[in-house]
Amino acid sequence: MNASPDFFAVFGAPPQAEASAPGRVNLLGEHTDYNDGFVLPIAIPQQTHVGLRRNGLARCRLYAQALDARIDFTLEAPPAPHHATYVYGCLLEARHAGFEIPPLDLHVASDVPMGVGLSSSAALEVATLRGLRTLLHPSLDDVQIAQLAQRAEVQHAGVRCGILDQMASSLARTDRALLLDTRSLAMREVPLPPYAELLVVDSGEPRTLAGTGYNTRRAQCEEAARQLGVATLRDVPGLQALASLPEPLRRRARHVLTENARVLQAAEGVSTHVFGALMNDSHASLRDDYEVSTPGIDRLVALLQAQPDVYGARLTGAGFGGACVALCRAGTPHRVAEAVLLAYAASGGRGRVLVPPAGDGA
């Protein structure tokens, strides 16, 4: 995607810098990041692109291709439109970190699916900060970019998220998963299990409770840790330690502990079948212990899991609607998707394939 001609059309001059960042799909390690735990995301092919130039004016001007709308803002006051808060938040957090931020023209174009749990907001944040690095601040490193992006989201978009999405967008590749310890930020690349390919399907269920439900789950984890006398659930020595917790805190904590164990096992280099089984277990845990699934997602995941060419499937992202990820036998994702979406439609669901992206080997 080359946004330069469009940048010129909108702002009357070419961009001085351009940058991109991908969305991500999380393979295992859901709701573990804000508990100092382990995650295993991989980048998706879809990206967000940002073009920038210093405009010499007293304000920033942001054009979003998807909305065909331009809005102007200064760093003194947050802009109202949702997408603009992410960009504003990144620029402001970069300034707070000591980087000079002059008034800029910014052009945003993206093919990352929005609102389905594939981190379109992190892609926008990381692309913006990468653009800033190219234009002005070469010393910004990938981890620092992820940390500024996360602060932008927490401080300015109101979601008390962990660092999974921003680290994945900033550091993950599309051909290898990234094992990340969200406490130390130690990381290592992990190959996908052999003869396997990913399929990501949108359930079509809107993520209605994503904001409130997410923050409630996080508060429950913090309360569970407090009652157990540990800093975070990462520090709980084992499942037997959870016996003293009241419900639902015990179930919430059990999900976090078992999910961390699944990530670490998968990253050891297990067989494709075992990797798939860990994904299935993860879904059951998110559904029963963490209670962030929906009836539509459960139906879609069950249909995926019933396919002979699928090793495992689960919801991905925060839950409460959005997308599911399946590990399929190599070469079969399109065939699997066709069969599953037909059956899903027969039960009233309206799904669509997100990865592989349309036109990618179909």
Q: Which stretch binds ligand GLA (CB under 6 A): 27-35, 80-88, 229-237, 244-252?
A: 27-35
Residues numbered 174 to 213 that lie near ligand GLA (CB under 6 A) are none
For the record, the structure tokens of 149 come out as: 């992006």
How many Å apart are CA 353 and CA 45, to the nearest integer? 13
Q: Interface with ligand GLA includes 312 (CB under 6 A)?
A: no
How many Å apart are CA 152 and CA 137, to the nearest integer? 18
How many Å apart are CA 258 and CA 239, to the nearest integer? 8
How many Å apart are CA 256 and CA 34, to the nearest integer? 10
In the annotation, is 105 catalytic? no
260 versus 307: smaller Cβ distance to ligand GLA? 260
Q: Interface with ligand GLA includes 33 (CB under 6 A)?
A: yes
34 versus 99: smaller Cβ distance to ligand GLA? 34
CB 42 within 8 A of CB 27: yes
Task: Give the count of residues interacting with ligand GLA (CB under 6 A).
Answer: 11
Among 23, 162, 276, 333, binds ligand GLA (CB under 6 A): 162
How many Å apart are CA 20 and CA 281, to the nearest integer? 34
47 versus 150: smaller Cβ distance to ligand GLA? 150
Minimum Å distance from CB 29 to ligand GLA? 7
- Closest-approach residue to ligand GLA (CB): 161
Q: Which residues contact 296 (CB under 8 A, 6 or more apart)?
A: 203, 204, 205, 321, 349
How many Å apart are CA 140 and CA 240, to the nearest integer? 43
Partnered with residue 352 across adjacent β-strands are 202
Q: What SS3 class is residue 198?
A: strand
Task: Return phi, psi of residue 264, to 5°.
Answer: -65, -40
For residue 301, give the nearest of 289, 285, 284 by alpha carbon: 284
Q: Where are the beta strands (DSSP E) in 59-218?
A: 60-64, 69-73, 104-110, 176-181, 187-191, 196-202
Element (H, E) at 38: strand 38-54
For residue 181, give the nearest of 41, 23, 343 by alpha carbon: 41
Q: Interface with ligand GLA includes 161 (CB under 6 A)?
A: yes
Minimum Å distance from CB 30 to ligand GLA? 4
Q: Interface with ligand GLA includes 34 (CB under 6 A)?
A: yes
CB 177 within 8 A of CB 27: yes
Q: Which stretch binds ligand GLA (CB under 6 A): 26-34, 44-52, 307-315, 321-329?
A: 26-34
Among 18, 105, 125, 165, binds ligand GLA (CB under 6 A): 165
Q: Which stretch binds ligand GLA (CB under 6 A): 47-55, 65-73, 161-169, 273-281?
A: 161-169
Minimum Å distance from CB 252 to ligand GLA? 13
Among 318, 337, 340, 353, binds ligand GLA (CB under 6 A): 318
Q: Interface with ligand GLA includes 164 (CB under 6 A)?
A: yes
Among 3, 23, 30, 322, binds ligand GLA (CB under 6 A): 30
Among 317, 321, 322, 356, binds ligand GLA (CB under 6 A): 317
Minimum Å distance from CB 334 to ligand GLA? 27
CB 99 within 8 A of CB 38: no
Please tell me which residue in 33, 36, 165, 281 is annotated as part of the active site.
Answer: 165
Catalytic residue numbers read: 165
Give the interface with ligand GLA as residue ranges (CB under 6 A): 26, 30-31, 33-34, 161-162, 164-165, 317-318
